[in-house]
Amino acid sequence: MNKKLLLSIMLLPSVVISVVAQTNVLHLNLGSHNEINDPAYGVNYTTNYATIKAKAMAVADSVNANGAKWNMQVESNFIRACIQQDFASTTTTDLMETMDNLAYVEVDPHNHLDTNNVMNPNYNPYNYADLNHLLDSCGLSTRTNVGGFIYQSSEWDNADGNWTTYKTGLQGRTFPSVSWTPVMLWGGGTKSHISDPLPVGVWHPGGATSGTFMTNNSSELLDMGNGCGWLVTDSTDITAMLADINDYIFAINFNPAASNTFYSSTIMFNFRNILATNTVAKISEVLRGIKPLVANGSVVWETLSEKRADWLGAHNNTTDNFIKDCSALNVGITDPIVDENGISVYPNPANDQLNIAFDKQEQKDIQLFDVTGKLIFSDNANDDKSKTIDISTLPSSIYFLKVQTATASYSKKIVVNH
């Protein structure tokens, strides 16, 4: 098939569904993170807590209304704020317990232990067992998922970061009398998210190095891949995101399903962004946009625990595995494809440089974000009809390009693959 015709088909959701046999289902969940250095959620920060709670409940209402599933992954400061400001240890109406009691929300601990300097804003004396204990004090049911972790041993602060030992139990650091034994990992990244693996599927990571992590070792904990990734912020172009999700569904169905295929992805948002005016509305918009994909069998919403149960229902927990890097799923764009705003971006995947072409001479603001939403490049093209960005020093990963003109806003997911 002609490459341009193929890519044109990919950009039309209704055509994708009719042209490609839906043999591979996308197992999808909404995910969110608190971070230890999020200033609005510190234990002594009282001004915005009620607003944050109301925003979170609004997200949960949207999740329910659209038949979605949400893994709310929380750090120690936010749990402590809930205990102190929402009386979580003595009531049943606090945010943590309310969320965990909902069938469509699963609350997981999310932790980055950092005990190097008590004056550092990232200082965190709580490990995963401590977080589980804090959540216990909020009245939550038993949690079994590690909601994100540092996968390389070279970046661990100490032995508490050694996820390869979690399968035998982890003793608390701040609360040494408690312990926690999870049953599943989720994701896996680096401290600064600059060289994260981007796996889809489910497997037992083979070790704590870049060379062993994405190999299967049946003696390790199961890991649910976080997928190629979509990040919702208050300024996300949801139309472009939904088109990208359709592209992804086309890609995973490019080859017929095998007995072990299991495509798992997460649509993320950062809790630090939840107070922004448009964040909740953007989340609702993308959830509504995925409803047709659920209806035609392309997507199934599942919490992480439901994904694990789904996998184990048909597979051996020790030997079976399915893993692919996101770069292997990209069909590839080598010719510039012009969108309706007269903007084209190529190649994608990209290696050393990214080219952006415009059919109009007007002011254009160009931004490039990493998978965490961090701005890593900003420039403008003035009246130029093309712009080339040097990406040779960027780590191989997923990035998000945004181009803003006086008349249009354009967003595109970019794969950098050296």
Q: Give the model confidence (pLDDT) of 241-287 as tens digits.
A: 888 888 788 778 766 678 889 999 999 998 888 888 999 999 999 99
pLDDT for the residue numbered 39: 60
Element (H, E) at 281: helix 279-295
Q: Spell out where 176-262 has E strands.
A: 179-180, 184-186, 199-203, 222-224, 230-231
pLDDT at 383: 67
Yes or no: say if 121 and 37 are a contact pair by the CB < 8 Å rule: yes
Q: Is the pLDDT of residue 333 over 60?
A: no
pLDDT of residue 330: 54
What's the mean pLDDT when you consider all of the chain? Answer: 83
Mean pLDDT of 295-306: 95
Say if residue 106's pLDDT is above 90. yes
Residues 297, 281: Cα–Cα separation, whole Å: 25
Condensed to tens digits (0 to 9), the pLDDT of residues 220-251 reads 999 999 888 799 999 898 988 888 888 788 77
> Is the model's pLDDT at 188 over the cut of 60?
yes
Q: How far is CA 131 from CA 75, 85, 113, in A?
A: 7, 17, 11
Q: Tell me: the pLDDT tens digits for 7-17? A: 333 333 333 33
Sequence-ordered alpha helix ranges (H) in 86-147? 95-100, 128-137
Q: Which residues of 85-110 are buried (b: 16+ CB within 10 A; e: fewer)?
A: bbebbeeeebbbbbbbebebbbbbbb
Dihedral class, residue 229 (left if φ above 0, else alpha if ψ from -120 to 50, else beta):
left
- If we measure between CA atoms, which residue out of 111, 64, 72 comes closest to residue 95? 72
Q: What pLDDT score does 372 carry?
A: 67
pLDDT for 74: 93
Element (H, E) at 279: helix 279-295
Please tell me the predicted confidence (pLDDT) of residue 17: 32
Query: CB of 353 within 8 A of CB of 338?
Result: no
Q: What angle do CA 262, 268, 274 make, to 5 degrees?
A: 160
Say if residue 22's pLDDT is above 50.
Answer: no
Least confident of 38-47, 199-208, 259-268, 336-345: 38-47
Task: Round to whole Å and give the CA distance between 34 and 32.
Answer: 7
Q: What pLDDT shows up at residue 45?
A: 54
Question: How many whole angstroms separate alpha carbon 297 and alpha carbon 292?
Answer: 9
C-alpha separations of 50 from 56, 81, 97, 275, 300 in Å = 10, 11, 15, 11, 32
Going along the chain from its start, the domains and CATH numbers come out as 20-329 (3.20.20), 343-416 (2.60.40.3080)
Q: Any idea of the CA torsion for 295, 296, 302, 306, to the nearest 10 degrees? A: 120
Question: What pLDDT score was predicted for residue 213?
Answer: 94
Percent of the chain with pLDDT over 70: 86
- Summarised one tens digit per residue, pLDDT across range 110-141 is 998 777 776 666 778 899 999 999 999 999 98
64: left (phi over 0), alpha (psi -120 to 50) or beta: alpha
Alpha helix (H) residue ranges in 46-106: 49-65, 76-85, 95-100
pLDDT of residue 210 exceeding 70, the answer is yes
Residue 257 belongs to what H/E stretch? none
* Alpha helix ranges (H) inside 152-278: 238-252
Distance of CA 339 to the CA centre of its chain: 26
Q: Check residue 229 and give its pLDDT.
A: 76
Question: Poorest-confidence range of 146-150, 210-214, 317-321?
Answer: 317-321
Q: What is the pLDDT of residues 152-181, one digit of tens each?
A: 999 998 899 999 999 999 999 999 999 999
What whole-number distance in Å separates Cα of residue 42 and Cα of residue 45? Answer: 5
For the cut 50, the answer to whether the pLDDT of residue 335 exceeds it is no
Number of H helices, E strands in the chain: 9, 20
Cβ-proximal residues to 5 (8 Å cutoff; 6+ apart), any chain: none
